[in-house]
Amino acid sequence: MILVSSGETEEMVPIKAKRRKEVTAMNEAIAWQSVLGRDPAADGRFLYGVTTTGIYCRPSCPSRRPKRDNVAFFSSADCMPYSI
């Protein structure tokens, strides 16, 4: 699931990639592969949050890899809620 800020409030709303207004839509499968491979080249392109812990990480984070079902991807820090 990709979450973005609605702009008017701090509420985060899920949207589908085809409705995104960003120049490059994030492909979650590619993002997940970047997390699994701890790809430093992906740092700065997106962040991910672990819903069970409330922790946010860069793709290259050396922490234990989370279960895929517990991960949400964010295009920037501005799009991340204070807790997931």
Catalytic entry in 31, 42, 50, 57: 57
Contacts of 48 (CB under 8 A, 6+ apart): 31, 35, 56, 57, 59, 71, 72, 73, 74
- With the C-alpha atoms ordered 1, 11, 60, 63, is the resulting torsion angle positive or negative? negative
Active site residue 61: no
Q: Which residues are catalytic?
A: 57
